Amino acid sequence: MSEATEKRVPLWLLAMITFSGTVGMYIFVPGLPQAAVDLGATTGAMQLTISLYILGLALGQPIYGPLADRFGRRPVLIGGLCLYILAGLVAVLAPNAETLVVARLFQALGGCAGLVLGRAIVRDTSGTKEAAQRLALLNLLVTAGPGLAPLVGSGVTAAGGWRLVLVLLCLLGVANLLFTWRMLPETGQPKGGPVSTLVRDYLRLAGSPVFLGYAICGGCVTTASYAFFGSAPFIFRELDRPPHETGIYLAILVIGISIGNWMASRLIARAKLDQVVAWASLMGVVAVFLLLGVVLAGQLTVAWAMGCMFVFTLGVGTAGPAALAQAISLNPRLTGSASGLYGFMQMVVGSICTALAGLGSDPALSAAMVLAGAGVVGQIAFYTALRGKRHIPAAE
């Protein structure tokens, strides 16, 4: 075990810095109508505060990764948290929609530092299998955070208005900065040397079929679920369920992801990581194709929707940590870069699936088709990674 693995970092701290980025995605959604009225803005302008936040989470991650490999985890994370706090303050005080939109973009660019470096620090301080077990919690936050965020946002907006939501995000950032400053040691090994070497290694990683296979597979078994989370209010409305029940159903699915994470921590100790990814992702594919069949047959009910999606979320929680651990373990010198690029791929997959699920007049059919398509793409990507590994004996 390397010296770095002796630097234990509290998992709750890594969970907090990861959560601060993902919770900001949709926690502001319930406050959009109120903010539009207060700022005299259109609905479209307010929706940019969400879409550009997601874009910021995607674009920032492949930048933070190489920076963390070059300069170390601690200074880059502290810089990201400072940006998150400052942009959050600007958002709280925003006098108009334009300022709010730009502030939210920079808030995301700061918040995504936690997503990248939380994963990298886990890998710095753990072996491959132990990292997969610890990554289960962080995977839960990336996947389920957007599903739970609107519930929190609804309560906060009702209690104190839309600006209070942004105040809470700022306070979360301040707490993370203080805890990071006091409790987080440097877990990486800053490379130094010419930037050209880092760029060359990064491009080699980005072009690796093995890495891309695991990254695309990881996105298809995790953030593809955003397609259902985003469509859930409309799906259950068409099933004649009252709006408040949607939150309950999403909470149940989050529990499914949690159970899957627990299953992953047990299975990873007994089986190879690729075996865990294989059977868990396949389980999710079977579940979403069953959901698609039920929708096409016109037999969709709450029980069918929740049953299929619960099995799917079990697969999400089980396969996600194993795929992530494999992707960021391919080159120990580029753990940060791999984490950033992996997160970028996750957000790209999640954004594409969310956008596609919004097409069509039948939200259940659209969501089911998107999930089924993502499942097929994920399987192809995974077996592409396996084929590539046969030519890289040391990749495991």
pLDDT 10s digit of each residue in the chain, 396 long? Answer: 344 444 578 888 988 898 888 888 878 878 888 898 999 988 778 878 887 888 898 899 999 988 888 889 999 999 999 999 999 999 999 999 999 999 999 999 999 999 899 888 988 888 777 787 788 777 777 666 666 777 788 888 889 999 999 999 999 999 999 999 999 999 887 766 666 777 887 888 888 999 999 999 999 998 898 889 878 888 998 999 887 788 788 888 888 888 898 888 888 878 898 999 999 999 999 999 999 999 999 999 999 999 999 999 999 889 988 998 899 888 878 888 898 999 899 888 988 898 888 888 899 999 999 999 999 999 999 999 999 887 654 433
* C-alpha distances out from residue 353 to 226, 238, 357, Å: 7, 21, 6
* C-alpha distances out from residue 39 to 26, 54, 155, Å: 19, 22, 21
Residue 4 lies in a domain: no
Predicted local distance difference test score (pLDDT) of residue 55: 86
270-309 per-position pLDDT tens digit: 889 899 999 999 999 999 999 999 999 999 999 999 999 9
User: Which DSSP letter does residue 4 get?
Assistant: G
Residue 110 lies in a domain: yes
Residue 265 lies in a domain: yes
* C-alpha distances out from residue 288 to 316, 322, 376, Å: 12, 20, 10
Q: Structure pTM?
A: 0.82
| CB-side neighbour CA atoms (13 Å) of 225 | 33
Residue 133 lies in a domain: yes
- The widest CA-to-CA distance across the chain, in whole angstroms, is 62
Angle at 257 (CA atoms; ends 255, 260), nearest 5 degrees: 110
CATH number of the domain residue 36 falls in: 1.20.1250.20
Residue 248 lies in a domain: yes
344-353 per-position pLDDT tens digit: 998 889 888 9
CA distance 28 to 24: 7
Residue 173 lies in a domain: yes
Residue 2 lies in a domain: no
User: What is the extent of the structural domain holding 220?
Assistant: 9-395
Residue 84 lies in a domain: yes
How many domains are contained in the chain? Answer: 1
Four-residue CA torsion sign, 176, 182, 188, 193: positive
Ramachandran region, residue 184 (left: φ > 0; alpha: ψ -120 to 50; beta: rest): beta
